[in-house]
Structure 1
Amino acid sequence: MIELAKDSGVWTVTINRPDKANALTEDMLRTLCEIMESADEARAVILTGRGKVFSAGADLDAARTGLAVSGLWERLSGAIARLPGLTIAALNGTLAGGATGMALACDIRIVVPDAKFFYPVMKLGYLPQPSDPARMTALIGPARTKLILMGGQKIRADEALAFGLVDRVVAPDTLMETAHSICADTIAAPIEIARGIKEMCG
Structure 2
Amino acid sequence: MPLTGGEIRLERSHDGSVANLTLNHGRFNVITWETRQVMADRFAEIDADRDIKLVVIRAEGEHFTSGGDIAGFMEVDPVDLTDLGQNITAPARSPKPVISAINGYCFGVGLELVLATDIRLATPAARFALPEMKLGMIPGSGGTQRLARLIGLSRAKYHILTGERITGQQALDWGLVSILAPDADALEQETQALVEKMLGYSPIALRTAKEVLDKGIDGPLYTGIELERKAYSMLRASEDFAEGVAAFGEKRAPKFQGR
Same fold at TM > 0.5 = yes
Pick one of 195, 198, 202 that aligns with 1:186: 198
Q: Are 1:195 and 2:202 matched, yes or no?
A: no
Partner of 2:172: 161
Deviation at 1:73, TM superposition (A): 4.5
One-letter identity of the residue aligned with 1:138: R
Q: Would the aligned equivalents of 2:107 and 2:128 in 1 still touch at CA under 8 Å? A: yes
Q: Would the aligned equivalents of 1:18 and 1:52 in 2 still touch at CA under 8 Å? A: no
Distance 2:84 2:195 in 1: 25
Q: Are 1:75 and 2:101 matched, yes or no?
A: no
Q: Are 1:176 and 2:152 matched, yes or no?
A: no
Q: Report SS of the residue matched to 1:150.
A: helix
Distance 2:180 2:197 in 1: 20
Partner of 1:26: 33
Return 5+ residue gaps in structure 2 as ranges: 1-6, 215-259
Identical amino acids, percent of aligned pairs: 27
Q: State which structure, 1 or 2, has the greater radius of gyration over its C-alpha atoms.
A: 2
Distance 1:26 1:130 in 2: 13
Structure with the largest fraction of strand:
1
Distance 2:21 2:140 in 1: 22
Q: Would the aligned equivalents of 2:19 and 2:55 in 1 still touch at CA under 8 Å? A: yes
Pair 1:177–1:76, CA change in 2 (3 A): farther
Deviation at 1:18, TM superposition (A): 3.2
Equivalence map 1:1-202=2 (5 Å) = 1-8=7-14, 9-19=17-27, 21-40=28-47, 41=49, 42-66=52-76, 70=81, 73-129=84-140, 131-170=142-181, 171-202=183-214
One-letter identity of the residue aligned with 2:101: A
Deviation at 1:127, TM superposition (A): 2.2
Deviation at 1:77, TM superposition (A): 4.3
Distance 2:188 2:90 in 1: 22
Distance 2:127 2:186 in 1: 18
Q: Report SS of the residue matched to 1:146.
A: helix
Q: Would the aligned equivalents of 1:73 and 1:98 in 2 still touch at CA under 8 Å? A: no
Distance 1:130 1:2 in 2: 19
Deviation at 1:194, TM superposition (A): 2.1
Q: Would the aligned equivalents of 1:52 and 1:93 in 2 still touch at CA under 8 Å? A: yes
Q: Report SS of the residue matched to 2:55.
A: strand
Deviation at 1:72, TM superposition (A): 6.2
Distance 1:64 1:100 in 2: 21
Pair 1:155–1:190, CA change in 2 (3 A): closer
- Where relative contact order (Cα < 8 A, 6+ residues apart) is larger, the structure is 1
After TM superposition, the score normalised by the length of structure 2 is 0.71
Q: Report SS of the residue matched to 1:54.
A: coil
Select between 28-37 and 56-65 the one with higher mean Cα deviation: 56-65
Q: Would the aligned equivalents of 2:13 and 2:19 in 1 still touch at CA under 8 Å? A: yes
One-letter identity of the residue aligned with 1:196: T
Return 5+ residue gaps in structure 1 as ranges: none
